Amino acid sequence: MRPLIFIGTTNLDINFYSTALPSVGQSLIGTIEEFAGGKGANQAVAAARLGGTPYFATMLGEDDAADSLMRALAGFGVQTSKIRRKPGGTSGKALILVATDGTNMMGIDVGANEEFNPDDVLAALEDVPEDAVMVVEMGLPVDTCRAAFENKKDRTLIFNPAPVRAQLTAADCKLIDIITPNETEAEELSGLHVSSVDQAFDAAMHLHDSGIAAVAITLGANGVVYVDAKRRVHQKAFPVDAVDTTAAGDAFNGALAVSVARGMEIEDSLCFAVATASLCVTRKGAQESMPTEQEVKHFLAEKGALKNAYF
């Protein structure tokens, strides 16, 4: 397997579970649980659970949350040597409201994540092999993301534009090997409405025509559509009973990175990544919900979709 590095955010997730999401002015009774989270951290954990040994570069504060977040990452097998701490800073936090059907609403206090700068990226990449698969997410400052792009060298760059903080330039697009927006992010980046598989293909083609080598738009219950110079693929979702959809996109990105690092064909990679995300949403929390390699293998076997190429 090729080396893996994830560059992104880390948060302490404070989850509120109730029967439904609240409307304006409504008070609900539910339960509160805390989990380790953050998009980049979740993606790195997903990769580690699937058999990778990923490095993770992020910025934590100097608080109790930072200590617990670091322990969680190390406990899942993520390589933590590239994690930095902001002197006197507070770690990122996310407040997540989750309904019984798994849908959610989220608010984020970025904390120390916003202090992760281009120089930190250069330091993190200094000893990362140039055949690595690199995953970057847009929760970091835009200049920090661009520093990762501009210093990718021969690494494969998977970019998760979540949340969309700026439009991509022509130079950005030329450096991205695979972009992985969801429907909302694809709309923001392409200017095209995305509420169906056909519309997702239109948006994917638009982004591909902008210079991005490959586009994978995640569609929740409709799976994912993928476009590159040679292929148009629709990988359907696997039906499951969703409990918490918070980290589904992160599970997908982590699994996609692992499958690319293993040299899997893109059709197999998409199936593997969708299966990983499908299992993720059947459990509470973010990092705790990430399935192991064997769990994904068993799930695919149950669905009649297991191939030797996966493992």
7-64, pLDDT tens digit by residue?
999 999 999 999 999 989 999 999 999 999 999 999 999 999 999 999 999 999 999 9
Among residues 13, 63, 244, 250, the one annotated as catalytic is: 250
Residue 310 pLDDT: 60
Across 199-223, average pLDDT? 97
Measured distance CA(11)–CA(117) in Å, rounded: 17
Residue whose tokens read 């916003």: 114
Is 250 a residue of the active site?
yes
Mean pLDDT of 295-307: 90
CA distance 309 to 116: 37
Tokens 């979702």 locate to 237
Query: How far apart (Å, rounded) are the C-alpha atoms in residues 74 and 309?
Result: 29
Q: What confidence score (pLDDT) does residue 301 get? A: 93
Kindly tell me if the per-residue pLDDT of 92 is higher than 80. Answer: yes
**Helix (H) or strand (E) segment spanning residue 160:** strand 156-160
Alpha-carbon distance 192 to 181, whole Å? 13
Q: Where are the domains of the chain?
A: 4-9+37-90+112-310
Closest to 95 (Cα-Cα) out of 111, 112, 107, 113: 107
DSSP for 289-302, please give it. GPPPHHHHHHHHHH
Query: 306: pLDDT confidence band, cut at 50, 70 and 90?
Result: confident
pLDDT of residue 285: 84
Contacts of 217 (CB under 8 A, 6+ apart): 180, 181, 182, 183, 186, 194, 200, 203, 204, 224, 225, 226
Residue 234 banded pLDDT, cuts 50, 70, 90 = very high
- For the segment 80-105, the average pLDDT, to the nearest whole number, is 93
Of residues 144, 147, 146, 120, the one with CA closest to residue 60:
120
Query: What is the CATH number assigned to the segment(s) 4-9+37-90+112-310?
Result: 3.40.1190.20
What is the 3 state secondary structure string of 25-48?
CCCCCCEEEEEEECHHHHHHHHHH
Q: Which letter, b or e, does each residue of 4-26 get, where b requires 16 or more Cβ atoms within 10 Å of its Cβ?
A: bbbbbbbbbbbbbbeeebeeeee
Cα(29)–Cα(16) distance, rounded to whole angstroms? 9
3-class secondary-structure state, position 120? helix
Output the CA torsion 267→272→273→275 (10° steps): 120
Angle between the N-to-C axes of helices 248-261 and 266-280, in degrees from 0 to 180, rounded to the nearest 10: 150
Per-residue pLDDT band for 231 (boundaries 50, 70, 90) equals very high
